[in-house]
Structure 1
Amino acid sequence: MVGHTLLDIRTRLEELSVAVGPYRVVSAKTGHSPIPVSGLQFPTRATAAEAASVATAYRTALRRYDPAVHVQDLIVCDQGLSPAEEQFPAEDLPEYCHSVTAALLEILSRRDGRVQRSVMDRYLDAAENTPDRDRLSLLLIESLAEAIDAHYTARQQYDLLRATADRLPQSPGTEAPLRDTLSVLRSTDILHSFELNPVPDDGHRVTLHGYRVDDRDGDCIVLPVAVELLRRQSPPPQFGHVARTRDGWTVHLSSGAETPEGPLAVVPSG
């Protein structure tokens, strides 16, 4: 990795773990804890979710040296529950952020390791100085969105997020995908509340109150909204004009185009 090594990642995992804890990180398929989380236990869901994202990065980095290392969908599991009994999306913000970022990191590791490495380098640099688990989890989302926006065209962004959505558990069909998307983000505390107002061109003006995903340059990070929508619909969402409000954002959003017409990770404010 650039600036950090596999040893740095392993050290971070050991810092997060405890001798005896109620949570583990396991493979969703087998229920076993693979390297580098085998034998590790964690005190809270938040620390376990963070460890799952770090472990995902470790395994994708390791596969560059050993292609035989298997892809694993890592999830947080209560010691008293089987992986099948765990639910998605999780109610707490760190585990939800992990579910999305781990899926996206796996996709990036196969297509373009430079973006995956830059995101993890930023995370490891911040981890020592960011004690708040929610903020650190949001930082992973923000770092991924900014890296994707910087390196990929709108079409490439759609392909990445479409593949990410396909790796997540399928959402049941719905007649109100946008409302259901925002309800999920509200339930995971990424936003406090929302308003939907139809506009003449068959779209919506969406008001996001208390939206906790932030961008260093002051633009609107829409990646969580895009991924959740793609779990529920095939057409790529179209994000139009965005504007900051006192406690969040207003976003013009429509769908129906066969190809993406704009960015799906970060939308410039203006």
Structure 2
Amino acid sequence: MIGATLVDIRHHVESLASDTGTYYLRCGRTGERPVPATGLYFEDRPVARAAARGTEQYRAVLRQYDPQLPDYDVIACQRPRTGATADGQPTVDVPPPQASESRTVDGRSRVDFCHRLAGALFETIADSPHDGVEDAIMDTYFQTAESIDSADELCLRLLESIATELEDRLDSDEQLEILRATADRLPPRPPTRDPLEATLSRLRSCTLLEEYVLERGTVEFGVLEPASRVMTVRGYALRRPGTRVVTLPVVVELLRRWTGRELSVDWVRVDAERRGACRLAVTTCRTDGSNGLLTVPEVTTS
């Protein structure tokens, strides 16, 4: 399976990394640090070049899932050093520049975010015992993609296809297991007192939503259980008006910041007077029925 190949390639690239390395990979045109080498450093330039080949192979395989995956010119760079010992040797590493996470959609932030998430999901599914899910996702995606030309729209439909098949084929516990394992594959997020607010801020920065308001609750969400937060989001890119809202990216981003074992998205309301703003309740405990981790249905209020 392609997914198993993704896992093997990622493990190979990670095996080349070194805690003391000073070389890293980036796109020569955009400055992006490409998956799966994001956050990794390598001991010398030959090793970094081997990692670059693995990274290019990884992205070529992932492109079989999504032909619109951004095309990077992967190069090896050495991070500069400051300071020197008595014999003139450098002593202090300076971290390499990072591409901003707050770029607009014109800077492909949304596309890159979706592809990183999709890649981690495919790896997780490939490592799972859920045979047939990968093929089902791609069948659903390709049927949808036939009528879409926009790369921006295609990356959203890819996430929607993944959410649809996982919801149809896995029970609530299996869904949470897949999403938590996916969150663990992505680079860790820094600790925060309010993981849900940080999650929504991240999604806004990559233009997956335009505005959000946390309507009630406290910053203790994720610390004291059970807890519930009600949020209103407007301009959410993964909302299908009149049908459902895909919650998958919200949940994965939250799980990168929160370590609790239970989670649900309980409901959605759409207020037509507020330009289609959606209200969702995120709860840190198990609920009866659907857990809303992948999608939730819309209910329009008068």
- 1:7 aligned residue: none
Q: CA deviation at 1:196?
A: 0.7
How many equivalent pairs are there? 223
Pairing partner for 2:235 from 210, 232, 236: 210
* Contact map agreement 1:142 1:214 (CA 8 A) in 2: no
- 1:33 aligned residue: 53
Q: CA deviation at 1:27?
A: 4.2
- 1:103 aligned residue: 120
Q: Distance in 2 between matches of 1:32 and 1:234?
A: 33
TM-score using structure 1 length: 0.69
Q: Distance in 1 between matches of 2:100 and 2:117?
A: 11
Pairing partner for 2:138 from 97, 107, 120: 120
Q: CA deviation at 1:34?
A: 3.9
* Contact map agreement 1:108 1:116 (CA 8 A) in 2: yes
Q: Residues 176 and 27 of structure 1: is their aligned pair in 2 closer, same or farther, counting only changes over 3 Å?
A: closer
Larger radius of gyration: 2
- 1:164 aligned residue: 182
Which runs of at least 4 in structure 1 moved beyond 6 Å after TM superposition?
A: 23-26
Identity %, equivalent residues:
29
TM-score using structure 2 length: 0.63
Q: Residues 90 and 151 of structure 1: is their aligned pair in 2 closer, same or farther, counting only changes over 3 Å?
A: farther
Q: CA deviation at 1:204?
A: 2.0
Unaligned runs of 5+ in 2: 2-27, 41-47, 79-95, 104-108, 219-225
Pairing partner for 1:148 from 126, 149, 166: 166
Q: CA deviation at 1:26?
A: 6.3
Q: Residues 177 and 265 of structure 1: is their aligned pair in 2 closer, same or farther, counting only changes over 3 Å?
A: same
* Contact map agreement 1:211 1:247 (CA 8 A) in 2: no
Code of the aligned partner of 2:281: H
* Contact map agreement 2:238 2:246 (CA 8 A) in 1: yes
- 2:89 aligned residue: none
Pairing partner for 2:266 from 240, 244, 247: 240
Q: Residues 198 and 224 of structure 1: is their aligned pair in 2 closer, same or farther, counting only changes over 3 Å?
A: same
Q: Distance in 2 between matches of 1:22 and 1:88?
A: 14
State the SS of the aligned residue for 1:103: helix
2:63 corresponds to 1:54:
yes
Q: Distance in 2 between matches of 1:85 and 1:260?
A: 43
Code of the aligned partner of 1:189: T
- 2:296 aligned residue: 267
Q: CA deviation at 1:222?
A: 0.8
- 2:256 aligned residue: 231
- 2:278 aligned residue: 249
2:203 corresponds to 1:185:
yes
* Contact map agreement 2:52 2:74 (CA 8 A) in 1: no
* Contact map agreement 1:26 1:32 (CA 8 A) in 2: no
Aligned counterparts, 1:10-25, within 5 A: 22=29
Q: CA deviation at 1:127?
A: 3.9
Code of the aligned partner of 1:231: R
Q: Residues 75 and 212 of structure 1: is their aligned pair in 2 closer, same or farther, counting only changes over 3 Å?
A: closer
2:249 corresponds to 1:220:
no
Q: Distance in 2 between matches of 1:93 and 1:214?
A: 15
Q: CA deviation at 1:131?
A: 1.6
Once superposed, what is the RMSD of the aligned Cα atoms?
A: 3.6
Q: CA deviation at 1:121?
A: 2.5
Code of the aligned partner of 2:195: P
State the SS of the aligned residue for 2:215: strand
